[in-house]
Structure formats: C-alpha cells, structure tokens
Amino acid sequence: MIDQNTLAPWVRRFLLEHLITERNLARNTQRSYRDTLRLLLPFIAAQANKPIDRLDVTDLHAERIREFLLDLEQQRGCVIATRNQRLAAIHSLAYFIGSHSPEHLEWCGQIRAIPFKKATRSVIAYLEKAEMDALLDAPDRTTAQGCRDHTLLLFLYNTGARADEVAQLTIADLAFAQAPQRDHSSVLIRGKGNKLRRCPLWPKTVAELTPLVQGRGTTEHVFLNRCGQPLTRFGIHTMVERYTNRVSEQIPSLKTKRVSPHTIRHTSATHFLRAGVDINTIRAWLGHVSINTTNVYAEVDLEMKARALAHCEPQDSTASHPPTKRWREDEDLMAFLHAL
C-alpha cells in the first residue's frame, strides 16, 4: 500500500493521472507543470535536507514555497508573470492531493492561500504597417530558404497564429479553394487546450504556400528546416529575430522593439482592428476564449485613440462667428446704460 504521506507517488499521479487523463491539458501546459516541479523539488529537498524521493507532503509547507517563489525572482531573475505561473502549478498539485486525501485538506488550504503577486501589465508591442512590410521583404526570395521564410512571415501575419501553432501545422490543415472567385481558402489551427479554429487565407498567402507544399504528403508538416525536419517554435522565433536585426539597419524604430512571432500576432490584431474588423471576429480569429483578452488591442492602438479624440475635440467657434466685442467696447450697451 502506498504511503499517503510520501510526496513522490502524488507527483507521479498528478502528472500522469490528473493532467493527462482527467483534464487532458495541452502538451505545453503539461511541460510547464513538469518544469515547475523540476525546479521546486530539488529546492525543497535542499531545505528539508532529504533526498527528493524521501520527501513527505508536509515538507512542502507554505513557508518553503514562499522561499522558493522568492528565489525564483531574486536568484533566477524570473518576472512576476513567471512566478505566478509556477505558483499556479503548485496550487493545482495541492488541490489534487487535498481532493484525494482528506487528511491533507488543512495543508492544501495553507498552500492555496499563498496569493499571486500583482504584476504591472506591460504595453503590448506591435509593428506599424511600414515596419511589417519591411520585415516581409527581408528574406531573399531567390533562394529556397528565403521563399520559405517569406511564406512563414506572411502566414504569421495573415493568421495571427502563435509560433507553436505554426510549428505543428500539417498540409492536411490547409484548405485551398478550388474556385477562388467563389470560395475562400482557409487553414485549420490547433490552439491552446487543443481548441480548433479556422482562419481565412489571403490569395497572396495561398500563392506562396502552394509551391511550398506541392507534391508532399498530407501528414507532413508545412514548414520544414534545412534538414527536412519540422520547424520548431524556437526555430521560428530565431528566424523572426534574425530578419528583424537585418531590417533594423534600415528602420531604426525596430531597434527599440523586441520582435518575436507573438509580436507579429499582436500586429495582425492591431491592423485588423484599424481596418474596421469587428472585435468579436478578431477574438475568434486569434482563438481567444474571452473578449476581454482581445479588448487590449483597442486599448493600445494609439492611432485609433487619436481618431477617437479628434471626433470629440471641441470645434473652434471663431471660424464661423465673428468675435464678440468686450463689454467695455460695446458703445451701444454703454449708451443704453447711461440713458436709464
């Protein structure tokens, strides 16, 4: 019989039974929870002066977790958002143990009482139209790799997809219209939590994708690296960074921006909003669960704020009406008063 006080069996059940079987969380979420435990357990073992496989559930008490979170910020240099993400994984582990072991309910309550730290929300970075056009023009399209990179950048801008979503894209996910004058081409994107959404493709994007996937099997990934292997999200990030550095020599404003695939996602949303696309359509386009997540683009777009401000600006009445005389200069009024 498994000792209910030993932590190791609970960790195994949490990762294999709870995250995968019960909740069916996305692979990236599973990895995030796993990485949290890979950092937490050695820290707790050192604090408790025990081997990791001999740790008890109660060794993971609230004070040590607070010290772990402090260590993340001060020693590892993690931002508050990362600190809160690690804490969310620990809360989830405590909830799992508490819900299956009544004797640990009090311990669970103490762990879950550790609060998240409030973080200052940073301003979302996006590219202006000229900057995005320059980035799209950066690859050398006389080479095979340059054509792939241009297509990839265009696809990111067209769909607003995350790097991981693009990395797992297969040829079967592409649906090119047989009659472009009547039908729309689209792509099926697997988002966070394995949620599916379909995004329309521009004719230009279809024209770039067609030679890239022609003659290949439908189960193959769309974007491959030089070795013919699927391009990873890290490879996509590196590619975007490389072309940004190249373009920044001609466009100095890019030197002040940290450009990543997610920046292009923000750029797509902002440009769609400027073009008059409904905010709820953009929410579905990007795969946001809540409209509140999408509303942030309306808040950061300076151009739209300026247009709204212009509509509210008071009109200068002096242009249509002659200036009125001050009362001291109104001789008729003064004559009237003297005549009383």
User: Catalytic: 86?
Assistant: no
DSSP string, 138-172: -S-TTSHHHHHHHHHHHHHHHH---HHHHHT-BGG
Which member of 23, 112, 262, 274 is catalytic?
Answer: 262
Catalytic residue list contains 162:
yes
192 catalytic? Reply is yes
| Residue matched to tokens 């699927």 | 230
Sign of torsion over alpha carbons 70, 76, 79, 83: negative
192, 233, 246, 274: which is the annotated catalytic residue? 192
Q: Are 150 and 294 in contact (CB under 8 A)?
A: no
Out of 83, 190, 265, 266, the active site residue is 265
Among residues 33, 157, 243, 297, the one annotated as catalytic is: 297
Query: Which run of H or E residues covers position 212?
Result: helix 203-213
Query: Distance between alpha carbon 83 and the CA centroid of its chain, in Å?
Result: 17
Strand partners, 187: 174, 199
Closest CA to 288 of 268, 305, 308: 268
Q: State whether residue 118 is helix, strand or coil.
A: coil
Give catalytic status of residue 297 as yes or no.
yes
Question: Choosing from 162, 197, 271, 283, which is the catalytic residue?
Answer: 162
Name the residues annotated as catalytic.
162, 192, 262, 265, 288, 297
